[in-house]
Chains A and B, each alone.
Chain A
Amino acid sequence: MIGSLSRTTPVIVQGITGRMGRSHAALMRAYGTNIVGGTSTRTDMKEAAGVPVFASCAEAVLETGALASVAMAPPEETWAAVQEALAAGIKLVVTVAEGVPLHDAIRIGRAVRRAGATWVGASTPGLAVPGECKLGFLPDVCLNPGPIGIMSKSGTLSYEVGYRLAREGLGQSIWVGVGGDPVKGVRFADMLPVFFDDPRTKGIVLVGEVGGTEEEECAEAYARLGAKKPLLALIAGREAKEGVSMGHAGALVHGESGTLASKTQRLTAAGATVFGSIESLIDRCARQYRFDKR
């Protein structure tokens, strides 16, 4: 679903009459996203951000044929929003709320898997195919069509990377904020086949952070899938204060994982290149991709 997103993909915004929903629906439309409607519990509003407002996802999907949804729901209401979207047949759900409870994220993950759908989030700024559409709130100033696939745990750090790439005249093929929560939808490793199969993508930038095991998983998948395109990684948190100890359980399950050293070592061993600063990553991209501007 992510690889085939385009300006024609029909998208709804759940919670479109709220402050965030209205403003971001308008911004997404202005960028070119095919926002076909939204949902709200408010019965007095028939239209918001220039599109029709429906009482439920089921009604919205029936009337518009929407395939994707951006859920602008508060964290504690995100699980209910995803259930509603899945029941209506939505195939891609993007949840932007920061602070979704861990056990709700587990419920969301299981329900999405059962439905055969795709979930981006929780706690994601969204995703974009620059020049085509954006789902969420990636800033327009960072988006520029080009050859580099971006996947990132951090919103702001990816904005910085995207902005500097754009300033160099470089750009992005597909950009997915996977979010910084431990339990989430699409993970770094899940994105590798998407980037490998995408003809627009010439290279992949991974923006990671210390903590968790996603970078290590991604390294393992990258080697296993044959390192088909260059993988350039930037990982924040070299100087981070020690994180919450997950007891012996963490070490038993994941071994020496989570640290910058572990992530750097595993990614490098798999054939990726790890950069120590934003500047050095951008320099490499500029050298490698300046003749690949789309």
Chain B
Amino acid sequence: MSRTASWAWGRSDVLLIEADGKALFAEHGIPVPAGVVVTDVVPPLPGDGPWMVKAQVPVGGRGKAGGIVRCGSRAEVEAAVARMLRTRLKGHSVDACLVEQAAAGQERYLAIMVDAASYGLRVIYSAQGGGEIEQSGSAQGRLCPPHPGAATEALAELIADEPEAWRAQVAAIGKALAEMLLERELALAEINPLFVAESGCVAGDAKVVVDLNAVGRQPRIASLIAARPAIYMDACRKLAEGFDYVELDPEGEIGLVTTGAGLSMMLIDELTARGAKPLNFCDIRTGQMRGSPARLIRVLEWITSRSSLKAVLVNIFAGITDLGEFAGLLAAAIQASPGLRVPVVARLVGRNAAEAQRILGEAQPGMLVTEDLEEALARIDAIVGAAA
């Protein structure tokens, strides 16, 4: 489990793997190197070498982690692919490699992203591309309204000093990038490095962050995500189930059935600070259950599939939900989960909490049902301590 938290999670941003980002690039007229996606045996390679072999994981910094290798021959490509596939890179399993013709030219940096504070776009360009771009201090940005024309104008200012030999090509790529970002409702479209040369400019990499909230009207994005359930696991689960469940630690001891992203995160923080090992993050959205225990049964099934499990903590703060109804569903879900062999502690607060205590008291005698979070956490401490 990674501890370098950054940006949002449990939310709607999804970083596409490079191959999918480049597929979108190609569809929007942005030149990319000829390449093939390899998941097993290496097929015939495009053109002559050298080639780049690149691990397809949705995370930055692959080059420094050894996930990008330049190869001069087919034998080297095969060896590099064999070395990368079925390994883990920066916390992600490598299920595919992109093998493509190595591009040539000078390296530049080009990105367009949504700028939250100004309700617009930010166009960023640097005459020095590559992995050390933050250190080079050469990147320049311009804010503009969310229109392709405005982004094109902003980029024109940023590249004004670049050689005329290929400046128009970069401008065209920038225009295509802005159109793609707006048409596909992306959060970010980044090319680093962008290889520039008189003979042609080409995107060496693709970082595309899509908005899961827009997939209902973005069938192309939906199809990209659906095509790779192993790589986009959390996103696929969210789209299929309508709620968030993220496994944090396959050897976790405390399964969480909780509502609300913020409170679930805080519970994970507090459990960890007490020395407990949470298994998962969960925002189950009781309001969408509509009288069926199915969603609770699903979550209990995922949680109980881990043999390290020692307890389940249910924490529901019901502003709206009738806790009496929820308690009935929880009791039904527990009875329908034969795999559940550890104690369940329920902290239920809000509307109709007393009725919930009564229902669960009858259905599950011995189960702690409380309105007090600290009491529930203390019981979890005791269970984990006793189990250890």
Please report A residues at the B interface, Cβ cutoff 8 Å: 23, 75-76, 99-103, 106, 109-110, 113, 125, 137-139, 141-142, 152-160, 163, 180-184, 187, 207, 209-212, 217, 234, 236-253, 258-260, 276-279
Contacts and interface: CB of A to CB of B under 8 A. Distances in A.
A9 to B, nearest CB: 22
Contacts of A109: 119
Interface of B: 1-9, 11-15, 58-60, 91, 109, 111, 113-117, 119-120, 122, 124, 133-134, 139, 141, 145-146, 182, 185, 187-188, 190, 192, 207, 209, 211, 213-214, 216-217, 246, 248, 259-266, 268-270, 272-273, 278, 281, 317-320, 349-351, 373-374
Contacts of A245: 6-7, 15, 58-60, 207
Contact of B8 (A212, A252, A276): A212
A278 B318 CA distance: 18
A155 B265 CA distance: 12
Contacts of B269: 236-239, 276-277
A23 B319 CA distance: 12
Given A99-B12, A249-B190, A279-B374, A209 B6 contact: no
B3 to A, nearest CB: 7
Contacts of A138: 319
A103 B109 contact: no
Main secondary structure on chain B at its contact with chain A?
mixed
B7 A278 contact: no
Given A99-B12, A252-B133, A259 B6 contact: yes
Contacts of A277: 269-270, 273
Contact of B213 (A101, A163, A180): A101
Contacts of B318: 139
A259 B8 CA distance: 10
B209 A244 contact: yes
B308 to A, nearest CB: 17
A147 B192 CA distance: 50
Contacts of A181: 11-12
Contact of A248 (B1, B4, B190, B319): B190
Given A76-B217, A102-B12, A244-B14, A278 B270 contact: yes
Contacts of B192: 247-248
A139 B5 contact: no
A219 to B, nearest CB: 15
A144 to B, nearest CB: 15
Nearest to A164: B373
Nearest to B242: A99
Nearest to B126: A252
Nearest to B137: A252
Contact of A212 (B7, B134, B262, B278): B7
Contacts of B190: 247-249
